[in-house]
Amino acid sequence: MEKISRDKAKAGKAKQHKYIFVVGGVMSGVGKGIATSSIGKILQSKGFKVNPIKVDPYLNVDAGTMNPTEHGEVFVLDSGLETDQDMGNYERFLEMDLNPDDYMTSGMVYKHVIDKERNLGYKGKFVEAIPHVTDEITRRIKHAAEINGSDISIIEIGGTIGDYQNILFIEAARILKIKNPQNVMFIMVSYLPVPGTLGEMKTRPTQNAVRQLNSYGVQPDVIIARSEAPLDQKRKEKLAIWCSVPVENVISAPDIISIYDVPLNFERDKLSSVIMKSLHMRTKAHNGELDEWKKFVKKRAKAKHKLEIAVVGKYFDTGDFMLADAYLSVIEAIKFSSYWSNANTKLTWVNSKEYEVNPKKVSELRKFDGIIVPGGFGETGVEGVILAIEYVRKNKIPYLGLCYGMQLAVIEFCRNVLGWKSAHTAEINPHSPHVVIDIMPEQKKNLENGNYGATMRLGAYPAVLKEGTIAYEAYNHLLTPSVSKISERHRHRYEVNPEHVEEIEKGGLIFSGASPDGRLMEIAELPRSVHPFFLGTQFHPEFKARPLHPHPLFTAFVEACLKKK
């Protein structure tokens, strides 16, 4: 009896769960991820617990194997799942750690269905795209909502309307809507071009995108109209009539200076009330969430100091646009710490390969207030990076090394301070007499068997901080009681070789953070008496930087850059 009523209560609750599907019209790259994040933000500010979900239509089972300069950053969750960069936007806007269930690709879904079929999970039935694949999609969406107890799921369907690849996801959403008409809505993020020759904003491509969506049996409830300029009333009315949505459901989303203005812009067009109406809901509470956000946005606009930071790495054959995508979390982490330190930072991308051709050129780094070497893989440009690190170490320019940036700093130190001229990483020269960055024995076997997927250290791992170090101070800057154990996200295969740790420390480099068992080095730094700020992390602190909670190590770095200035 008790079980039945519990089940009933559960079913009742599940029924009330709301789903917002965000789809893209006209073209890609118009900010669906930011729109999804911003919808989440304004709903949070109305007292709801939201759950963003990213659906990627490609066949990769995760994003781990993708080249970031082509596809954007690989964003790593606490769990270690390698995902799309949009997951990073969601985490930053919504200040939450996402679960692996909040991400799915076609590959993941198909693999599950095919594995189930092989295991007789479908009990001898035909296994078909509809309903088996669509059911699996819905199961995942519902499961994600259940485990985090959210009120509203916001599901971003990757790709654009008209793509062949995302059709099954739209079909799954359509079926969910048919079954729960009150609880499901569709938002189309579209684009209104202003052709230079005409100078006039055109609505037709959006009309066509809506028609295409209609042909799948789906009618959007809201149109977020991205464009260069705000939408005027006349165009809103035109879109409303041609796309069959109420005029107040056409939301103007002009280009803006900062993506963090988007939630505030959406609220200017009252998007949260429109959503409440569409989903038959009432606002829970105004909880001041957007007040904090506004403060942050103001900080950005008012930042007085100007900082110039160089990001040194192996950049080639990619425009700035792609670089910004490949290192998205690093860029955002720098922004957050800068704004809170009353600074605006200009980042310059420096191709380390140029230093390999012309080592003297490295002195150009003098003009920067600080240098970052971000994560990376492989041999290209590495000697140039090491030259850059040597230069900033000797010239006392603040340095922050992220993952590869820490490993290469250790190599530079071993070569030029300890005199181990051939010091290297096993990733490049496993036969060097001084392999100071090495693969751990337990991982070696996997690598020998060609099992590359199993050789990465992925996701959140704890580290213990050494008191009295720059890292310890940074993490404890505003915290009471103090913390000596932190948790940060990883994505790498190699580690500082434990065999050399003692000698390296004797030489003057401090490992200020290490795994609780003391075997894996997590942070390396030079003492302040030697250098104002020279610090590298084996983990990726950028994955945990948030607008309202900037990452302490990035903040300490920015403060050091300001001081140098």
User: Counting contacts by CB under 6 A, is residue 404 touching ligand GLN?
Assistant: yes
Q: Which is nearer to ligand GLN, 25 or 313 (CB)?
A: 313
Distances (CA, A) of 172 to 37, 135, 138, 192, 484: 22, 7, 6, 28, 47
Catalytic residue among 289, 542, 559, 561: 542
Q: Which of residues 425-444 bind ligand GLN (CB under 6 A)?
A: 427
User: One symbol per residue from 331 to 370: x for binding ligand GLN (CB under 6 A), - otherwise; what is it?
Assistant: ----------------------------------------
Residue 233: CB minimum distance to ligand GLN, A: 50
Tell me which of 220, 376, 381, 401 binds ligand GLN, using CB under 6 A. Answer: 376
Q: Which is nearer to ligand GLN, 314 or 491 (CB)?
A: 491
User: Counting contacts by CB under 6 A, is residue 31 touching ligand GLN?
Assistant: no
User: Counting contacts by CB under 6 A, is residue 78 touching ligand GLN?
Assistant: no
Taking CB under 6 A as the binding criterion, the range among 181-189, 288-296, 486-494, 501-509 that sits at the site for ligand GLN is 486-494
CA separation for the pair 278, 123 (Å, rounded):
40
Is 542 annotated as catalytic?
A: yes
Taking CB under 6 A as the binding criterion, the range among 62-70, 179-187, 241-249, 490-498 that sits at the site for ligand GLN is 490-498
Residue 271: CB minimum distance to ligand GLN, A: 37
Task: Answer for the pair 227, 263: CB distance below 8 angstroms, yes or no.
Answer: no
CA separation for the pair 317, 353 (Å, rounded):
12
CA separation for the pair 151, 146 (Å, rounded):
9
Taking CB under 6 A as the binding criterion, the range among 35-43, 197-205, 241-249, 373-381 that sits at the site for ligand GLN is 373-381
Backbone φ and ψ for 20, nearest 5 degrees, come out as -115, 120
Q: Which residue is nearest to ligand GLN (CB)?
A: 375
User: Counting contacts by CB under 6 A, is residue 494 touching ligand GLN?
Assistant: yes
Is 403 annotated as catalytic?
A: yes
CA separation for the pair 156, 35 (Å, rounded):
9
CA separation for the pair 129, 137 (Å, rounded):
11
Residue 492: CB minimum distance to ligand GLN, A: 3
Beta strand spans in 232-342 (E) = 250-254, 305-313
User: Counting contacts by CB under 6 A, is residue 82 touching ligand GLN?
Assistant: no
User: Counting contacts by CB under 6 A, is residue 314 touching ligand GLN?
Assistant: no
Nearest CA-CA partner of 108 in 131, 77, 139, 85: 139
CA separation for the pair 489, 522 (Å, rounded):
11
CA separation for the pair 18, 164 (Å, rounded):
27
Number of residues in contact with ligand GLN under rule CB under 6 A: 11
Q: Which is nearer to ligand GLN, 88 or 376 (CB)?
A: 376
Listed in sequence order, the DSSP H helices in 316-455 are 320-326, 328-340, 353-357, 382-394, 404-416, 441-448
CA separation for the pair 444, 432 (Å, rounded):
17
Q: Pull the structure tokens for residue 309.
A: 């930071």
User: Counting contacts by CB under 6 A, is residue 375 touching ligand GLN?
Assistant: yes
Q: Which of residues 95-134 bind ligand GLN (CB under 6 A)?
A: none
Task: Answer for the pair 194, 188: CB distance below 8 angstroms, yes or no.
Answer: no
Reduced to 3 states, what is the DSSP secondary structure of residue 193? coil
Reduced to 3 states, what is the DSSP secondary structure of residue 312? strand
Q: Which is nearer to ligand GLN, 303 or 496 (CB)?
A: 496
User: Counting contacts by CB under 6 A, is residue 403 touching ligand GLN?
Assistant: yes
Q: Which are the catalytic amino acids?
A: 403, 540, 542
Residues that bind ligand GLN (CB under 6 A): 375-377, 403-404, 407, 427, 491-494
